[in-house]
Amino acid sequence: MHKGKGMKFVGDSRISAEKKANMPKDYSEYPGRTEAFWPNFLLKEWLVGAVFLIGFLCVTIAHPSPLEGMADPTNASYIPLPDWYFLFLYELLKYKFASGPYILFGILVIPGLAFGALFLAPFLDKGPGRRPHQRPVAVGMMLLAVASVMWLTYESAEHVDWEARAEANKPVASVEVDKEDPGYKVFESNCMSCHGDSLQGGAAAPSLIGIDRSAEEIMKIAQEGTGSMPPGVFKGTDEELKQLAEFIVSVNEQAK
């Protein structure tokens, strides 16, 4: 680069007017088989990244992300559970020495010591040796910590019936029930007392929203019953029966 007298700039700017060659650095004299990041290594790295991304997208498509029903603060029976990577902290609080009168051990002392030691690791493990066998205490503590975290997570997750939880907390689709529909009139006089005024179900019978049945099956059940529903609850003409079934099917179409 030109220095001192005779420097040339672009216009009145501070940008040098002299062109420098746009050359990559030369690593050929570095030890070992050193490679340039740009462009040599990046060309291979993006391939690995692409494979990773495809794998990730496949998982995403195969497992739609879960969503439970809308939050209901009055629901007293719900058993709370944090996301999986907090389970170990949550499980810790179930031990006697970390709960009740010792709760501060569970929420402050133990996690504080563990994460504090992690934060200060370079100052606790000061020796020059980097190999694991040269620092048995640090490596031993870390192995113990990792094993505990895994054990606590496993203990916590093992007692949960994940499928039953997902099933019980499924979101209910909100549907608008057209109360002017001729089928609704039939529903009102035959089914409403048990299945609720908006098909939402009640103490005696389940919701009729989100069922997977054809009009024929519904007509059959209305006349013959199913499970704890007795036969003969429907009283009316064939025409009305058809209107009723089509009405229930149409509500379920909406809920899909």
Partner 1 sequence: MLQKLYDWIDDRIDITPLWRDIADHEVPEHVNPAHHFSAFVYCFGGLTFFVTVIQILSGMFLTMYYVPDIENAWKSVYYLQTEVAHGQIVRGMHHWGASVVIVMIFLHTLRVFFQGAYKKPRELNWMVGVLLFFVMLGLGFTGYLLPWDNKAYFATQVGLEIAEQVPFIGEQIKILLAGDAHIVGAQTLTRFFAIHVFFLPAALFGLMAVHFLLIRKQGISGPL
Residues that constitute the known binding site for heme c: 191, 194-195
Residues 107-136 that bind partner 1 (CB under 8 A): 107-108, 115, 118-123, 125-126, 128-132, 134-135
CB of 205 to partner 1, least distance (A): 24
Site string for partner 1, 215-254 (x = CB under 8 A): ----------------------------------------
Helical packing angle, 238-255 and 215-224, nearest 10° = 120
68 scored as a contact of partner 1 (CB under 8 A): yes
Site string for partner 1, 139-168 (x = CB under 8 A): x--x---x----------------------
Judged by CB, which is closer to partner 1: 36, or 204? 36
- Residue 48 CA to residue 30 CA, distance in Å, equals 25
8 scored as a contact of partner 1 (CB under 8 A): no
Judged by CB, which is closer to partner 1: 49, or 231? 49
CB of 219 to partner 1, least distance (A): 29
**Candidate list 51, 54, 56, 223; residue touching partner 1; CB under 8 A:** 56
- Residue 153 CA to residue 58 CA, distance in Å, equals 26
Which pair of tokens denotes residue 250?
């149409």
Judged by CB, which is closer to partner 1: 13, or 228? 13
- Residue 68 CA to residue 172 CA, distance in Å, equals 9
With H, G, I as helix, E, B as strand and everything else as coil, classify residue 193.
Answer: helix
- Cα 248 to Cα 9, 172, 202, 215, 237: the distances in Å are 80, 16, 16, 8, 17
- Choose one: 68-76, 175-183, 201-209, 239-247; the region binding partner 1 (CB under 8 A): 68-76
Residues 6+ apart with CB under 8 A from 131: none
Judged by CB, which is closer to partner 1: 7, or 118? 118
Please tell me whether the peptide bond between 24 and the residue prior to it is cis, using omega within 30 degrees of 0.
Answer: no
Based on its alpha-carbon atoms, the radius of gyration of the chain, rounded to whole angstroms, reads: 34
Judged by CB, which is closer to partner 1: 4, or 127? 127
**Candidate list 2, 7, 36, 178; residue touching partner 1; CB under 8 A:** 36
Q: What secondary structure does DSSP assign to 82-135, as a single string?
A: --GGGHHHHHHTTSGGGSGGGHHIIIIIHHHHHHHHHHTHHHHS--S--SGGG-
5 scored as a contact of partner 1 (CB under 8 A): no
